[in-house]
Amino acid sequence: MPSPFELVSASIIVFLCISLVSAILANHQQFLVKLSNALSAAACLLAAFGGFLTVLSGSVETFILPIGLPDMPFYMRLDALSGFFISIVGLLGFFVSVYSIGYLKGFLGRRSVAPLLVFYNIFLAGMLLVLLSDDAYFFMISWELMAVSSFFLVFFEDEKVPNRRAAFIYVLIAHVGAVLILLSFGIMAGFAAGFESFHGYTFSAMRMAEMPAVWASIAFILAFAGFAAKAGIIPLHVWLPEAHPAAPSNVSALMSGVMLKTAVYGIIRVGFDMMGTPQWWWGGLVLALGLVSAVLGILYALMQSDIKRLLAYSSVENIGIIFIAVGLAMVFAYMKLGTLAALAMAAALYHMLNHAVFKGLLFMGAGAVLHATHERSMEALGGLIHKMKWTAPLFLAGCLSASALPPFNGFVSEWLIFQSFLLTPALPGRLLNLLIPLGAAALALTVALAARGFVKVFGITFLGQWRGRHDTHVAEVDWPMRAGMIMAALSCLLLGIFPNHVIGWLDAVPMSLVGGGIGETAKASGWLWLTPVAAERASYSAPLVFVWLVLVIGVLYFIFRARGVSIRRAPAWDCGFEKMTNRMQYTATSMSMPTRRIFGFAFSIREAVTVVSRRGSSLFPEKYLYRLKVRDHIWNFAYKPVSEASFWIARRVGKLQHGRIQIYLLYSFITLVVLLVFS
């Protein structure tokens, strides 16, 4: 029996081999799609199994890879925390790889899929390496591997201008973030072994380091900012709604479902593991930014009419929710409330697992819609439930999970976060005491708005009548795509119905980080009841909710079946209005109109109606043109000045450039003279 570490490293080697093979076999596209994705799926299973076993046993394995710079080998470590994230990567990677067997067929004959497959596998390997690395040097290399490979994936359909722009913004912000992380590691390494020595670069040395509080805070802030840029926390989220829709859907599923989680992994690793005990205001900061991201993320999501953009903004929201739980865990850990910290941490981890599965499912569903209709805008979709009989219910399962409705999985983790809010005792510091009720309020608002958003996504895309001008031929997607989505949807349901088993499994992670766990208390009243603290405090039984719903619906249905009263089909009544056309339906824009009006202050909205008339007189209008442009304020306030300033500087500096060799030689000469004078 190989050890979990061997399983995970074997899968990494397999990924790298597949990417090599994909480059070699670029001429056999059809064969390549099947082979490469099947192998990736197998490797993902291997990694997921390794991660699962690590968390189950709570074991720690370390390994030193004797390559790298002289005297600086790569350190690797597999503990419960990284094992948990590895199993998420493996699980979703498996679903998505199976799905890709069908999805990538859509590109055949149009463009070569070889680059996609090469970088897809490097991307997966990069994420696993990030989670395994145990020194700053190896971590940064893996981090860059992950960032650069995903850059090429976003860049895949490079003939479209928005995609190129998205990839550029993505790589820019990813690198700003990477620099901040590097600086933070520099500070920690400096205090670990002095600034003269190189031996502080391992994480184990940083764990031992004694840091003054000020420097610890600076290091944490730097790392937090760097990781938040990767996670898409507002105001560093601008790349996310551009990059996720631009990437092919299987990649968007992985980016949203898993890659964002590696950033959360980084924050937990630095905040809980490497820094020892967090300061109270770190938790407050994480919590506050999480709240902002959750509320604004879902509000921006509501405004979108492009399915994939909407899902991308919803990822901002969910990352915000995860940050809320992580922030709470930090506050509790500072106050030495072991059980509460464990509860909040378990909620964060559970939500990460849930979000990976349901967001992966939703992006796969959006990909299926895109594959079948070649349309991403909801305004031109509709009525797909009649044509895509499999995708529709699977996508609905994802929507129910994302809206946190029982008995699906999203509900359980958000329920746990609410419980941690309600269990909060009086905290030191008036600001924190204020933040807890405000946080609960913002989270409640987010959950309700999410349901609104997903009613819109599902209702406009799959229900009603086709909204496009021409009724194109739409067919259900093929079996590999369905299989990927079916497995993800089933996981959504199972993760929702058996929370005790999941919490019992992941309990090793809070145990190792905050020194407490809720696995024992959670199942104290039996596997049927989830009681995070005590049965008198709160209880929830997902299996019973599920059984009750199935039972009542089944019984009612069979009573009516037995009576055999007929059902007649007739044209829709609609209050007696006649001649309804599909253009009279509600659209994505009109669905979100009340939100635009109520929360209008959060956006910059430009709305214009122009009357087009043939005779030039407005008395005989031919048609009305309605233009709507909604942007978030953050782009205008934070990014536009920076980008304009850098262009301004670039233009000034550009004046030095003449293209004449004599002038460049003169520059060199002047530089040398100046250096000689001052040396």
Range 146-165, binding other proteins (CB under 8 A): none
Of 105, 66, 568, the closest CA to residue 372 belongs to 105
- Residue 396 CB, nearest approach to other proteins (Å): 8
601 binds other proteins (CB under 8 A): no
Range 204-233, binding other proteins (CB under 8 A): none
Range 436-475, binding other proteins (CB under 8 A): 436-438, 440-441, 444-445, 447-449, 451-452, 455-456, 458-460, 463-465
Among 13, 179, 422, 673, binds other proteins (CB under 8 A): 422
Report DSSP letters for 13-55, one per residue: HHHHHHHHHHHHTTT-HHHHHHHHHHHHHHHHHHHHHHHHHHH
Minimum CB distance to other proteins smaller for 585 or for 604 = 585
569 binds other proteins (CB under 8 A): yes
Minimum CB distance to other proteins smaller for 546 or for 639 = 546
- Residue 457 CB, nearest approach to other proteins (Å): 11
Among 568, 579, 614, 627, binds other proteins (CB under 8 A): 568
- Residue 352 CB, nearest approach to other proteins (Å): 20
Rounded-to-integer distance, Cα 274 and Cα 565, Å = 68
Rounded-to-integer distance, Cα 259 and Cα 125, Å = 12
Segment near other proteins (CB under 8 A), from 77-85, 421-429, 502-510, 647-655? 421-429
Paired strand residues for 609: 626
Instruction: Give the distance between the most distant pair of CA atoms in the chain.
Output: 103
Paired strand residues for 345: none
597 binds other proteins (CB under 8 A): yes
Among 549, 611, 645, 672, binds other proteins (CB under 8 A): 549
The site that binds other proteins (CB under 8 A) totals a number of residues, namely 82
Rounded-to-integer distance, Cα 661 and Cα 488, Å = 61
Minimum CB distance to other proteins smaller for 65 or for 593 = 593
Draw the binding track, 491-530, toward other proteins (x: CB under 8 A; -: no contact).
Answer: --------------------------------------x-
The residue with tokens 């915000």 is 320
Of 277, 289, 291, 157, the closest CA to residue 217 belongs to 277
Range 228-247, binding other proteins (CB under 8 A): none
Minimum CB distance to other proteins smaller for 253 or for 402 = 402
Rounded-to-integer distance, Cα 516 and Cα 231, Å = 27
- Residue 558 CB, nearest approach to other proteins (Å): 11
Rounded-to-integer distance, Cα 136 and Cα 68, Å = 12
Instruction: Write out the E strands in 334-493.
Output: none
Q: CA-CA distances (angstroms) from residue 565 to 557, 568, 590, 661? A: 12, 10, 38, 92
Helix 29-57 × helix 4-24 angle, to 10°: 170
> 374: exposed, middle or buried (C-beta count within 10 Å: 0-12, 13-18, 19+)?
exposed
Among 391, 401, 403, 420, binds other proteins (CB under 8 A): 403
Among 13, 176, 431, 580, binds other proteins (CB under 8 A): 580
Minimum CB distance to other proteins smaller for 584 or for 645 = 584
C-alpha torsion angle, residues 517, 356, 151, 41 (rounded to 10): 100
Minimum CB distance to other proteins smaller for 25 or for 451 = 451
Among 76, 166, 404, 481, binds other proteins (CB under 8 A): 404
Among 383, 398, 484, 517, binds other proteins (CB under 8 A): 383
391 binds other proteins (CB under 8 A): no
553 binds other proteins (CB under 8 A): yes
Segment near other proteins (CB under 8 A), from 18-26, 312-320, 397-405, 665-673? 397-405
Minimum CB distance to other proteins smaller for 16 or for 538 = 538
Q: Where is 146: in which H helix or E strand?
A: helix 136-154
572 binds other proteins (CB under 8 A): yes
- Residue 245 CB, nearest approach to other proteins (Å): 23
How long is the chain? 679
672 binds other proteins (CB under 8 A): no
Helix 479-497 × helix 542-563 angle, to 10°: 120
Among 76, 474, 595, 632, binds other proteins (CB under 8 A): 595
Of 154, 383, 376, 324, the closest CA to residue 250 belongs to 154
Among 574, 652, 661, 668, binds other proteins (CB under 8 A): 574
- Residue 292 CB, nearest approach to other proteins (Å): 16
565 binds other proteins (CB under 8 A): yes
198 binds other proteins (CB under 8 A): no
630 binds other proteins (CB under 8 A): no
Segment near other proteins (CB under 8 A), from 29-37, 82-90, 415-423, 616-624? 415-423
Q: What single letter denotes the amino acid at residue 120?
A: Y
The residue with tokens 């850059």 is 151
- Residue 525 CB, nearest approach to other proteins (Å): 8
Of 70, 87, 73, the closest CA to residue 4 belongs to 87
Number of neighbours of residue 160 by Cβ within 10 angstroms: 10
CB 496 within 8 A of CB 408: yes
Rounded-to-integer distance, Cα 44 and Cα 30, Å = 22
Paired strand residues for 628: 607
Range 55-74, binding other proteins (CB under 8 A): none
562 binds other proteins (CB under 8 A): no
What the block records as the tokens of 190 is 């400096």
